[in-house]
Amino acid sequence: MSALPAGGTVRAITRWGEPVMHKPCREVTSFDAELRSLVADMVATMYAAEGVGLAANQIGAGLKVFVFDCPDADGHHHTGVVCNPTVRVPVGRDRVLDDDEEGCLSLPGAFVACARTDSAEVRGIDLHGRPTSYAGDGLLARCLQHEADHLDGIVFADRLSTRARKKLYKEAARLAVDFPPGWPTSR
C-alpha cells in the first residue's frame, strides 16, 4: 500500500461532456512539486466526494495520473498513485467478466451494470518517477480499469449498450439536484 499525499484542496469535479473528459490525456513527464500538488488535490477531492478513485481529468487536468483508495474482493484496502498507466487484464479462458454496478464521480449518483474483467493489473510510474504496479480483483479491478479508461478519454457509458446508457443518464438527471455545479465544493 502506498501512502497518498495529504493537504490538498478540494476541487469541483468535471462532468461528462466537458472536452477534457473525452480525449486522451498527456503523459506525465515532470515529477515535481506541481504534480505533487495536483495529486494532493485529487486525493482531497476523491475523499470529499466519497469516491474510490479519481483521474486528473476529473478535476480538469489533462494529465495521465490517477489516485485510488479502494477495497479488493476480500475487503483489503489498497491505495496508490499511478502516472502513465497501462492496464493488463486476463484473456482467453482466464478472462472472467463481472457485470456489477458501476458509477462515476463525473456523473454523480447514478449506477448501472457494466461488464469488466474480475481481475486487473495496472503498471505505471509513481509520484516520484519510480516504476509501480497494482493488481487486484473485485471493486479494485473495476476501479483500476475505470480510472485508466478516463485517462484515455473513455467514460464507462462508452462501454454500455444504448439501453443501459439511457437508464444511466435518466438516473443521473433524476439525481442532478443532489449534485449541483461545483460539487463537491458546493456542499
Alpha carbon distance 81, 37 (integer Å): 13
Cell of residue 39, nine digits:
495529486
SS3 of 132-184: the string is EEEEEECHHHHHHHHHHHHHCCCCHHHHCCHHHHHHHHHHHHHHHHHCCCCCC
What's the number of CA atoms in the CB half-sphere (13 Å) around residue 179?
A: 20
**Contact by Cβ (8 Å): 39, 67:** yes
Residue 43 near residue 6 (C-beta atoms within 8 A) = yes
Q: Is 50 a catalytic residue?
A: no
Question: In one letter, which amino acid is 53?
Answer: G
Active site residue: 27, 34, 121, 147, which one?
Answer: 147
Element (H, E) at 116: strand 107-117
Q: How far apart are CA 173 and CA 13, in angstroms?
A: 16
Residues labelled as active-site residues: 147
